[in-house]
Amino acid sequence: MKYRLILSAFAAALALVACKPSLNIAEPLINTGAVSYEIPSEGGTVDVTFRSNLPWHIELAPANATSSVAGITVKPSSGEGSTRDITVTVRSGANSGAERRVLLTIFGEGASAQAAVRLIQPKQSVPGEDDGPAMGTLLNPYPADKLHADILAGNIPDGSIYIRGKVSKVKEISAKPEGYGNATFWLTDSGDHPATDVEAFQVYRAKDIGLADIENVELLNEGDVVTVYGPVMLYGGTTPETKQNEAAVLAVNGLGTPQGDGSAENPYNVGAAMKLIGTLGSDVSSDEVHVKGIISEIVEFYPPNGNYTYYITDDGYHPSDDATVLYIYRSKYFGGANYTSAEQLKLGDEVVVRGTLKNYGGTMPEMNTGGQLVLLNGNTE
């Protein structure tokens, strides 16, 4: 599905070529084999391979507000077209800051053809270094295994915190109307369940979003990535767990239980938007709706057209399968204005967007091009 960005980028150029068949000019073509490459956190090189039958050049741009292209070089950064694979080498020093995400865009000279890949460089771990922001926030949820260990060591976080892990075992989903409207299950980082239940963190009789009763008996399964919000405790001196009926399951694999009606006053959450898309025929668009969510991955800021492409989920978690969450395709800024800077959006931003929804090609749930930002972290500008 990522190739959609590549193909649509040079559609106009293909049309121009089609008008002059007698000239026998090759169709402008740039494509890449991979969509992302990881640079070692300690620094090093990575080879990026692509094909271009046009003379080409490469430009780098940060994919979010916490990234920078400083210290990253590409050699060669331009060259002649070829029908064979072209390889360039990306070099970067150690990354001591936050994880870096950079867009490497290949432009074809004299045409609108282009393609982009992501360069990802994790933060380098430095012994004795501060771990950064306190865990337990939405952008930095408490890992299940560490929370389990910390509580046993007497370091019990105060108040409600965000917790994330993989479901290692489900004890019970007591859904309404027959049950109590809560669920009990265990979380670990890996999803593997230990020899005894007490060795894993227990989510005990948790509710749904907003502490509503759980009504879906199939809310979650083993292996699902779950984000929970609520207070924790050490029960009986042996069992780290959430407090009974005081924690809520915010999202399962990035999606929450459907909420909202799609209006400006009560936007759909991503779970509800995905449910609506599931009722549409392939490539049939919905009426205009409002959807709220958290930016989980930024795909592209495209300066020539002033638009932004990214994904949103209900808890900020981005699953490995892009097609299971909502793709905000070539959206505009407030009031339909152009975005002017990549820094105007970043990972973790909470947004409300307005536009029409469809299941592009039957495989990609998305908000159509032309959607626009309505709220950004609660602000209208």
Over residues 259-283, mean pLDDT: 96
CATH number at residue 224: 2.40.50
Residues 229 and 150 occupy one common structural domain? yes
- Where does the pLDDT of residue 96 fall: very low under 50, low under 70, confident under 90, or very high at 90 and above? confident
pLDDT at position 113 over 90 = no
**Mean local confidence (pLDDT), 186-209:** 97
Q: Give percent of the chain with pLDDT exceeding 70.
A: 91
Q: Is the pLDDT of residue 92 over 60?
A: yes
Closest C-alpha among 42, 49, 39 to residue 91: 39
* Domain match, 248 and 335 both: no
pLDDT mean across residues, the chain: 89
Measured between alpha carbons, how far is 102 from 119 in angstroms, rounded to an integer?
5
Domain with 245 in it: 142-252
Number of domains, the chain: 3
Check if the beta carbon of residue 116 is closer than 8 Å to that of residue 103. Answer: yes
Residues 6+ apart with CB under 8 A from 5: 115, 116, 299, 300, 309
Burial of residue 25, with CB atoms counted within 10 A of its CB: 0-12 exposed, 13-18 middle, 19 or more buried: exposed
Is the confidence at residue 164, as pLDDT, over 80? yes
- Residue-wise pLDDT for 73-85, tens only, equals 999 999 999 989 9
Residue 171 lies in a domain: yes
| pLDDT average, residue stretch 44-61 | 93
Task: Report d(CA 332, CA 319) in Å as an integer.
Answer: 25
Mean pLDDT, range 216-227, rounded to an integer: 97
Residues 160 and 51 in one domain: no
User: Which one has a higher pLDDT value, 109 or 356?
Assistant: 356
* 228 and 330 share one domain: no
What CATH number corresponds to the domain at position 346?
2.40.50.140
Same domain assignment for residues 22 and 72:
yes
Mean pLDDT confidence for 194-223: 97
* pTM over the 0.75 mark: no
The pLDDT assigned to 20 comes to 34
Residue 242 shares a structural domain with residue 345: no
For 239-266, the pLDDT digits (tens) are 999 999 999 999 999 999 999 999 999 9
Q: How far apart are CA 170 and CA 193, in angstroms?
A: 10
| pLDDT at site 48 | 94
What confidence category does residue 134 fall into, taking pLDDT thresholds of 50, 70 and 90?
confident
- Confidence band, pLDDT 50/70/90 cuts, at residue 33: confident
Residue 169 and residue 80 share a domain: no
Residues 183 and 241 in one domain: yes
